[in-house]
Structure 1
Amino acid sequence: MAAAPFHDRDGWVWMDGEFVPQREAKVHVLTHAMHYASCVFEGERAYDGEIFRSRDHSERLHKSAKILGFQVPYAVDEIERAKQELLNKMGFSDAYVRVLAWRGSEQLGVSAKSNTIHAAVATWQWGDYFADKMAGIRLTIAPWRRPAPDTAPCNSKAAGLYMICTLSKHAAEDAGFNDALMFDWRGQIAEATGANIFFVRDGVIHTPTPDCFLNGFTRQTVIKLAREKGIEVVERAIFPNELATFSEAFLTGSAAEVTPIREIAGMPFKPGKISEELVHGYSALTRRKNA
């Protein structure tokens, strides 16, 4: 049975300092964020009632907004309280948490400096982003590329930057794949549409340097976890002609967690020992209080 659409569900959304019924959590059609993408967000997961790296996400929300030229009207501590109170109000232990801030509807034009800044927190129960993780997922090559840092605010988790991700993921799904691998403007490997990517060769993990995409918190956590297990991790420029030289590949992200890959555009990969070790290691870490 399909889940109810988000606009027609029971429950609550924290919105501008208050809890409102989910069906009433609305914005005006002339909201600046809808027309000009002046919105930043965070995607987080709660495990056993505790949001993993919660404060890091709240702090990044503020940093993302600053890069886009506005200030979140609620302090980090207030956002932290709102997230936890909403989880408790919804009665969720394991859940996905979405936090966002955006420019409102007082002005509608490219410039909208006087618009009110709004903020909201929503949460829902969401299982694995990709089902049957250890079977591995299939990626194709995205038709769009990650832009250069001087052409887009790549250090901000800005909603507008995900337009090319949606286009690429839709194209991948239409072609029978789970996701797409995105190159950057130089032709180097960057990431998937909503997750960072890692490769394994001869027991060493290789991952692209995050110079035009976000250095994800799950990415950072998995690098630390791998090194604690004695696995070497190399961050560097990776080129498409290297794909055939790797034996394993996997994605990381708050939604994807750690998800092995079995194919990229016809090239096979085997979800092997290192991928499996990190899948289970990350799961154990997120289930541990105060990790």
Structure 2
Amino acid sequence: MMSYDKRSGKIWYNNDLVEWAEAKIHVLNHGLHYASCVFEGERVYEKSIFKLEEHTSRLFYSAKRMGMTIPYTEKEINDACNKIILVQNVENGYVRPTVWRGSEMMAISAQQTKIHVAIATWEWGSYFDPKLKVEGIRLNISNWRKPPPNTIPWDTKASGLYMINTLSKHEAEQQGYADSLMLDHEGNVAEATGANVFFKDKNGEIHTPIPDCFLDGITRRTVIEIAKSKGIKINERKIKPEELRDFVGCFLTGSAAEVTPVSCIVDNQFKVCETIIDLNKSYQTLVRKK
């Protein structure tokens, strides 16, 4: 894989198109040292960004929750996202808008820092190995737990929240798994490291954790709408780890992960059932609809 700092083309950076290699920040950057940074992850399908407006609205919400005022309108960011995928000629890929505090202050307090915005995009295929997506990926259960909701801005896509996700993902990969299931502060099932999780029971109903201490994903909401349109009952509720053995199917959802079947979570085995295959087909049809 080519290093992301050595790619070619342009990046939208504070309302300018700059050379990819020149899109730099200073090492004494507040976003780097204190995680004052929010971002989005968006999929491009056939040169169109899926649910761009929803992603941009969430970006602005995340920034506001982090005390940052984005110096552009939502329309300007939408236009910039569409512009950069045209400039980069991305047909099926990924878009990463990022907002962060600059280098004017180097302390916990950052009242006078400038707010920067950059948008990068690149061609990108499956987040997981395509073969594994057919067979179902394997998950372990992380030793790290999602913090209580009164300790973090849990409903944002803020960079600092992903520290334990990275630790969990690395641990899973070192153990031979593709990803990790994370529990919440009460020991309930929460999410994977970068995707929401769903389970299918023996009666054909779908169960998914209530997003009360982790992000309610845009893809999560989309798949719930698709399932309901097919008459599938959705149960949003607290799920205990010991319930995993009672489910017959499992899958993840996310802008990067899309709809990804899960074959096992540690010793709990799942089938890539027809329901999951059908939901994935419907999702793929939706995202490519002009």
Deviation at 1:279, TM superposition (A): 1.0
Alignment of structure 1 residues 132-211 onto 2, 5 Å: 132=131, 133-201=133-201, 202-211=203-212
**Partners of 1:241 and 1:186 in 2: CA distance:** 14
- Name the amino acid aligned to 2:283: Y
**Partners of 1:227 and 1:269 in 2: CA distance:** 22
Question: Once the two structures are aligned, what percentage of the paired residues are identical?
Answer: 50
Deviation at 1:37, TM superposition (A): 0.1
The aligned counterpart of 2:22 is: 24
**Partners of 1:35 and 1:235 in 2: CA distance:** 37
Deviation at 1:6, TM superposition (A): 1.1
The aligned counterpart of 1:85 is: 83
The aligned counterpart of 1:243 is: 244
**Partners of 2:86 and 2:10 in 1: CA distance:** 11
- Name the amino acid aligned to 2:254: G
**Partners of 1:62 and 1:92 in 2: CA distance:** 24
Secondary structure at 1:19's aligned position in 2?
Answer: strand
The aligned counterpart of 1:50 is: 48
Deviation at 1:96, TM superposition (A): 0.4
Whether the aligned pair in 2 keeps the contact of 1:12 and 1:90 (CA below 8 Å) is yes
The aligned counterpart of 2:258 is: 257
Secondary structure at 1:260's aligned position in 2?
Answer: strand
Gaps of 5+ in 1: none
Whether the aligned pair in 2 keeps the contact of 1:103 and 1:118 (CA below 8 Å) is yes
Whether the aligned pair in 2 keeps the contact of 1:38 and 1:68 (CA below 8 Å) is yes
More deviation in 170-179 or 90-99? 90-99
Alignment of structure 1 residues 1-40 onto 2, 5 Å: 3-40=1-38
The aligned counterpart of 1:69 is: 67
The aligned counterpart of 1:270 is: 271
The aligned counterpart of 1:119 is: 117
Secondary structure at 1:213's aligned position in 2?
Answer: coil
CA-to-partner distance for each residue in 1:165-197, whole Å, 9 max, x for gaps? 000000000000000000000000000000000
- Name the amino acid aligned to 1:110: I
- Name the amino acid aligned to 1:40: V
**Partners of 2:266 and 2:152 in 1: CA distance:** 27
- Name the amino acid aligned to 1:111: S
Does 1:229 find its partner at 2:246? no
- Name the amino acid aligned to 1:165: N
Deviation at 1:83, TM superposition (A): 0.5
Deviation at 1:239, TM superposition (A): 0.6
Deviation at 1:266, TM superposition (A): 1.6
**Partners of 1:173 and 1:100 in 2: CA distance:** 27
**Partners of 1:125 and 1:266 in 2: CA distance:** 36
Aligned residues: 287
Whether the aligned pair in 2 keeps the contact of 1:97 and 1:123 (CA below 8 Å) is yes
Deviation at 1:70, TM superposition (A): 1.0
Greater than 4 Å deviation, 4+ residue runs: none
- Name the amino acid aligned to 1:203: G
**Partners of 1:197 and 1:274 in 2: CA distance:** 15
Whether the aligned pair in 2 keeps the contact of 1:134 and 1:276 (CA below 8 Å) is no
- Name the amino acid aligned to 1:211: D
Deviation at 1:143, TM superposition (A): 1.3
TM-score with structure 1 setting the length: 0.98
RMSD: 0.6
Deviation at 1:93, TM superposition (A): 1.3
- Name the amino acid aligned to 2:90: F
**Partners of 2:270 and 2:228 in 1: CA distance:** 22
The aligned counterpart of 1:108 is: 106
